[in-house]
Structure 1
Amino acid sequence: MQIGNDITHAAQLIQSGELVAFPTETVYGLGADALNPSAVAKIFEAKERPAFDPLIVHVAHLNQTKSLCRQWDERIRLLAEHFWPGPLTIVVEKNERVPDIVTSGLNTVGIRMPDHPLALQLIAEAKTPIAAPSANKFGRISPTKAWHVANQLTEVPYIIDGGQTTVGIESSVIRLHEDGFVMLRPGAISSDQIREVIPESKMSDEEHKLHSPGLIKSHYSPQKPLFIGEIDLKETDLSNAGLIAWGQPEYASKFSKVEYLSVDQRMEEAAINLFSALHNMESSDVEFIVADPVPEEGIGIAIMDRMRKAAYRYRNT
């Protein structure tokens, strides 16, 4: 494994069918040539990811998006003009160029243009769309720094180090349909923002297959029990407990370790710090973790979605 900033070398690895971890504005991705089924298979192997969980394809320009769609939809252009490069994934019907392994056999594919210069340079130099889920073992905490990747995926040939990611949680994922769109996964871009661009759209609560990654109930999990505001502070021994704090609560002093999402209670800062806080807690000596909930408004909806999934496996322990 190498960690560095040699984009030309990284692009050559992608072209030769190898994996490269790279930064985006959301989290670090584990990338492979999206049009090479054998290369994409290495993603599933490295992550120990189930074959039913589809991947997102990253592009550097709109023409690459058009080359993957079965039929072009002008709403894609409108959304791209407003939100790309940025943390929005658009799920559309794919054409025959997209291998079934990328989409888990579905006839749809999620596409986005990342808002990170190193990611865009990598895609451009590799001269191919890049399929990339988060660069971590399946179900574990998403990486927002290069060392987070190195700790979990030791077999990846190259990690591009772009420092701390600037959004901190995965992209919003929407699926377009004839009557509008469905929000499949909450992220930094809200349904209200999307409706401002395509106002005729209607939200739908219909049940879906896994058209998007990140929809499994248990996800983003640390290797230590995590509880969301569910601990009786008076009755629980907190001498070996960690707190992921919202603001500066008085009870923080009761915990042996504290990670602050945002002392000023700024939601965007909390999103940036969430996964890093979980990584720091996981690598510490604490026995369990308590997380303060944040208000479910704006990007707070996405933060709480990630928190609940991270804590899901410990709900009945």
Structure 2
Amino acid sequence: MKPIFADAAAIENAVKLLRQGRLVAFPTETVYGLGADAANPDAVRRIFQAKGRPTDHPLIVHIASVDSLTDWAQAVPDAALKLAAHFWPGPLALILNKKPDVSPVVTGGQNTVGLRVPDHPVALSLLRAFGGGIAAPSANRFCRISPTQARHVEEELGSAVDLILDGGACQVGVESTIVDLSGTRPKLLRPGYITQFDIEAVLQTELLVVSSQTEPTNPSELRAPGMMAVHYAPITVAMLCPTDRLPEIIQTLNFRNKKVGILAYSLKQAENSLTLLIHMPKQADDYAQALYASLRDLDSLQLDIILVEQPPETAAWRAINDRLGKATSASQ
């Protein structure tokens, strides 16, 4: 399926397809989503089939405004309203106790549902025209690199998608922050552009933080996407490397005649013809926007290994380090 420019006619066509139970990929500020009518269990099942995603992994429902929260949530706590007022539309998903009529197909069998209002003109126009919730995980194969451009969706899912709306490159570039408000104390399930400290400042309370590198052993704890130990990963083996060890590791691999791709912000040039360097931005926001597209570019080159320079381990880089920790699997 070739992407089409997301003008008014394309959005009208997308709405028709969604109402027919078909799949529509669309841009958000974070990544491209693979959308289906969240009120149509058969349509939502097609998402799982297209992605190869296990059916016990819950989906996030995208809604047009905070007013739609009560269509999906059994109760809306004050904390949810405070966060929505500060961060919606925006890259924040809230986990709330679901209404009884919300399909377990959407929630992965959980008694909670994830909700967010995306901050992208195409996504918002689509949601307003559709008039309901759109269940939409990232538009890629399960556990692979998320798409931040329309062509990534085409390359990854092809004819499994009925329509791809092209709204340009995603501005944030990594998935939304996820906060669980279904219990007695707020939990940070997945870091993102909106930081733990941003959320704590609004709620005036500390969040419980779920370790991003520990996969839940109890299915009932799998309340949100992206909680697998391996996720966002290229097909090519990838290794996260400390800055001070990067030259040594590159030299060793070059000696073994390995074709090496590198994502780095400190190196100025590639070592030799066996090495391909993508020079990454030094600012966290710019790095995040470029990350998935850069990984995809290297992954397409039939390399032996991808090396990723370890970013700073500060709050601004937390979401990026979370994604890289899951995307890289080789040991140093």
Fold similarity call, TM over 0.5: yes
Aligned equivalents of 1:11, 1:205: Cα separation in 2: 37
Map of 2:181 onto structure 1: 176
Map of 1:115 onto structure 2: 119
Aligned equivalents of 2:207, 2:283: Cα separation in 1: 30
Q: Which has the higher helix share?
A: 2
Within the candidate set 248, 255, 267, 1:249 is matched to 267
Is the contact made by 1:188 and 1:298 (CA closer than 8 Å) also made in structure 2? no
Per the normalisation by structure 1, the TM-score is 0.93
Map of 2:225 onto structure 1: 213
- Distance change in 2, residues 1:200/1:229 (3 Å): closer
Map of 1:39 onto structure 2: 43
Q: 2:113 is aligned with what amino acid?
A: V
Aligned equivalents of 1:204, 1:165: Cα separation in 2: 27
Is the contact made by 1:267 and 1:300 (CA closer than 8 Å) also made in structure 2? yes
> Deviation of residue 97 (structure 1)?
2.8
Q: 1:3 is aligned with what amino acid?
A: P
Map of 1:71 onto structure 2: 75
Give secondary structure in 1 for the equivalent of 2:253: coil
Map of 1:259 onto structure 2: 278
Aligned equivalents of 2:57, 2:207: Cα separation in 1: 26
Aligned equivalents of 2:294, 2:186: Cα separation in 1: 33
What is the percent sequence identity of the aligned residues? 38
Give secondary structure in 2 for the equivalent of 1:184: strand
**5 Å matches for 1:152-231?**
152-154=156-158, 155-177=160-182, 179-204=184-209, 209-229=221-241
Aligned equivalents of 1:46, 1:299: Cα separation in 2: 34
1:143 to 2:147 alignment: yes
Is the contact made by 1:256 and 1:286 (CA closer than 8 Å) also made in structure 2? no
- Distance change in 2, residues 1:209/1:60 (3 Å): same
Aligned equivalents of 1:118, 1:250: Cα separation in 2: 37
> Deviation of residue 202 (structure 1)?
3.8
> Deviation of residue 251 (structure 1)?
6.1
Within the candidate set 117, 123, 132, 1:128 is matched to 132
Q: Which deviates further from its counterpart, 83-92 or 199-208?
A: 199-208
Is the contact made by 2:29 and 2:119 (CA closer than 8 Å) also made in structure 1? yes
Is the contact made by 2:122 and 2:167 (CA closer than 8 Å) also made in structure 1? yes
Is the contact made by 2:107 and 2:113 (CA closer than 8 Å) also made in structure 1? yes
In structure 1, list runs of 5 or more residues that go unmatched: none
1:28 to 2:32 alignment: yes
In structure 2, list runs of 5 or more residues that go unmatched: none
Q: Which deviates further from its counterpart, 191-200 or 175-184?
A: 175-184
Q: 2:155 is aligned with what amino acid?
A: N
Q: 1:137 is aligned with what amino acid?
A: R
- Distance change in 2, residues 1:91/1:157 (3 Å): same
Is the contact made by 1:35 and 1:97 (CA closer than 8 Å) also made in structure 2? no
RMSD: 1.8
Aligned equivalents of 2:280, 2:259: Cα separation in 1: 20
- Distance change in 2, residues 1:277/1:84 (3 Å): same
Instruction: Work out the number of aligned pairs and report it.
Output: 312
**5 Å matches for 1:299-314?**
299-312=316-329, 314=330
Q: Which deviates further from its counterpart, 220-229 or 207-216?
A: 207-216
